[in-house]
Structures are given as structure tokens and as C-alpha cells.
Amino acid sequence: MVRRHIAGRGISDARVLDAMAAVPRERFVERSLSHRAYADGPLPIGHGQTISQPYVVAWMAEAAELGTGDRVLEVGTGSGYAAAVLSRLAGTVYTVERHRMLAEEALQRLSVLGYGNVRVRHGDGSLGWGRHAPYDAILVAAAGPRVPRALRDQLGPGGRLVMPVGSHCGRQRLTLERRGRSGNFKREELGAVRFVPLIPH
Ligand code: SAH
């Protein structure tokens, strides 16, 4: 999967490729779907939600330029798969999920698999997780019409925020925002994506 769908489609960061190769995606989907875990597509995880497409997880991780000690906020834990990948690239991953069941299942899965540097919380991720701010990077795994104010506020100087921005049901643009040292934001559009909507509580 990594050679064909990730490196093959242009992801070149060696740390990202190693992290993608190390995380057992079949452990993040139900057993009946495990034969499809290494195809490059989203898969249902219940509650109308999906585990992200591996290529998109790698793309977002590469865009966020994660360093080994970074503190990362993820919005939309889902299965916990992307959080596991991020945990291999950064220092600590704080991830927020609005579905209580998904948050509980992800926490259970991540602890069984030994991802000790991931903290999972049930709540509205569009408000961020103020307690552990500021973050070096914020990755939003659900789409909204604009970057929520609270997330910008919780990004530290020099921080990177990656989020699909656009209409809820159509296609969105994967967007990278960098926070400058003086608090200004620079925005870059990376390409077209399709995510489930970011739903406030
Ligand atoms: N990264 C996940 C996939 C996430 S799918 C994985 O690797 O499996 C998007 C997730 O965002 C869904 O689980 C959805 O419930 C969640 N979500 C949507 N709106 C949210 C919000 N306001 N706060 C937190 N999570 C939210």
C-alpha cells in the first residue's frame, strides 16, 4: 500500500512513509473489512463515519511538517488510525471526537496497540482542546466552510494547521495555514479532497 498508493502518488517524506508502513490499518476497522484495509480508500467505521483514506492521512501529515517533539491536535479521531500515524511523527497527539462511542473505541484500540502518546477526548473539536494549547500543528479530519476561530487561536507561532475547507457535501480544498511569529496567518491551497462534515455540538 505504501509503495503503490502513498509513495506512488507523490508523498516523499521518509518519516511519513515509515509511519504509514508501521501502523497496522486492519486493526482500526472491523474484522469483516480487514481484507480491504490496505486498499487506498475510506472504509465505514459505524455511526455514519469513515476511516480516512491512507493517501490523505499521509498528505496531511506531510503538509503539517511534524517534528519529533511536536504537540499535535487532531479534530475528528474517528477510528484513531490517523492519530496512530501522527503519534509516530510527533511528541504528543491530542485528539477530539464528537461521537462518544467512536472516542471510546479509539481510546481502547490505541491503548491495546500501545500508542501511549495519544490522548483522546470526547467533545466538540471545533472548539479545540484549550487545556493543552498552544499546538505546533492542528489537523482537522472533517470539512467546514472556514477554519474555526478557536483552532487558529490554539495554534502556536510557527504552527501549521491543515483542514479541508469548503461546502459540506461537495468537494473541499485541503488548506494549509501557517501562523507567523507575529500572529499573522499565511494560507496555501493544497488540492481537492472529500471529507465528512465538521459538526459542532
Ligand atoms: N481521522 C479519522 C477519520 C475521521 S472521519 C480516522 O483516521 O479514522 C471524521 C471524524 O470527525 C468523524 O469521526 C466525526 O464524528 C468527527 N467529527 C465531526 N465533527 C466533529 C467535531 N465538531 N468535533 C470532533 N469530531 C468531529
Residue of 97, 113, 127, 139 with the most ligand 1 atoms within 8 Å of its CB, for mutation:
97
Catalytic positions, written as ranges: 52
What distance in angstroms lies between residue 100's CA and the mean position of ligand 1's atoms? Answer: 11
- Locate the ligand 1 atom nearest the alpha carbon of residue 196 and give its number: 9
Cell of 113: 496497540
pLDDT digits (tens, 9 = 90+) for 66-102: 999 999 999 999 999 999 999 999 999 999 999 999 9
Distance, CA of 130 to CA of 150 (rounded, Å):
8
Whose C-alpha lies nearest to ligand 1, atom 13?
78
Q: Is the CB of 200 inside a 6 Å radius of any atom of ligand 1?
A: yes
Residue of 74, 79, 198, 201 with the most ligand 1 atoms within 8 Å of its CB, for mutation:
198
Question: Model-level pTM?
Answer: 0.97
pLDDT digits (tens, 9 = 90+) for 116-147: 999 999 999 999 999 999 999 999 999 999 99
pLDDT digits (tens, 9 = 90+) for 155-166: 999 999 999 999
Cell of 25: 490499518
Q: Is the CB of 23 inside a 6 Å radius of any atom of ligand 1?
A: no
What distance in angstroms lies between residue 143's CA and the mean position of ligand 1's atoms? Answer: 9
pLDDT digits (tens, 9 = 90+) for 155-194: 999 999 999 999 867 789 999 999 999 889 999 999 999 9
